[in-house]
Amino acid sequence: MKKIHLILAIYGISFSVNAQEKINWLSFEKAIELNKTNPKPILIDVYTDWCGFCKKMDKETYANNVIANYINEHFYAIKLNGEGKEDIKYKGHTYKFKQQGRTGYHELAVAFLEGKLSYPTTIFLTKKEELLQKIPGYLSKEHFEKVLAFFNTEAYNSINWEEFEKNFKSKINP
């Protein structure tokens, strides 16, 4: 019997070591609510269900343990469907889905992306919910790790991107 418990304990340890870290994605309203009592920068992944590069970023970038851990620790993470049907209340306004031809768009995505819908787009807001940066397109985990650190540490206040990138120490590729 002790042998079985030992084997189960060994397997349990190996399963927990290999467990995939997942990003704690929040609804838009929940992230804003949490930010009121415990301010953090906000990361918004603007995507659509049909977007191939959005799926690739989910599978290769957001699924990386280093990326997921970093986001969970330092950001409120939001997935915003650019064609989502649910109303979102933000800063006294209700943003809705708008039908356009056979498809449509969500007004909040349009507002953040200033009418230039591009998927995926990663948006960074400051702790005060001010738009800091929007980065259109697929981001590899290696590049995204640098971007996350640049915005989380507020390095943008004192150093340019090129200098930051040159001195960055990766945890993905040490």
The answer to whether residue 154 is domain-embedded is no
Q: Which three-class secondary structure state does DSSP give residue 161?
A: helix
The answer to whether residue 71 is domain-embedded is yes
The answer to whether residue 18 is domain-embedded is no
Nearest Cα to 126, choosing from 41, 64, 60? 41
The answer to whether residue 174 is domain-embedded is no
Taking each helix axis from N to C end, the angle separating 65-74 and 141-152, rounded to the nearest 10 degrees, works out to 20
pLDDT in tens, 147-161: 999 999 999 999 999
Domain that holds residue 101: 24-139
CB 171 within 8 A of CB 66: yes
- Out of 12-21, 34-43, 137-146, pick the least confident: 12-21
The CATH number of the domain holding residue 106 is 3.40.30.10
CA-based torsion, 109, 115, 118, 121: positive or negative: negative
The answer to whether residue 83 is domain-embedded is yes
| Domains identified in the chain, total number | 1
pLDDT in tens, 26-81: 999 999 999 999 999 999 999 999 999 999 999 999 999 999 999 999 999 999 99
Q: Which three-class secondary structure state does DSSP give residue 57?
A: helix
Q: What does the alpha-carbon distance between residue 77 and residue 71 come to, in Å, rounded to a whole number?
A: 7
Q: What are phi and psi of 115, to 5 degrees?
A: 80, -5
The answer to whether residue 57 is domain-embedded is yes
pTM of the model: 0.86
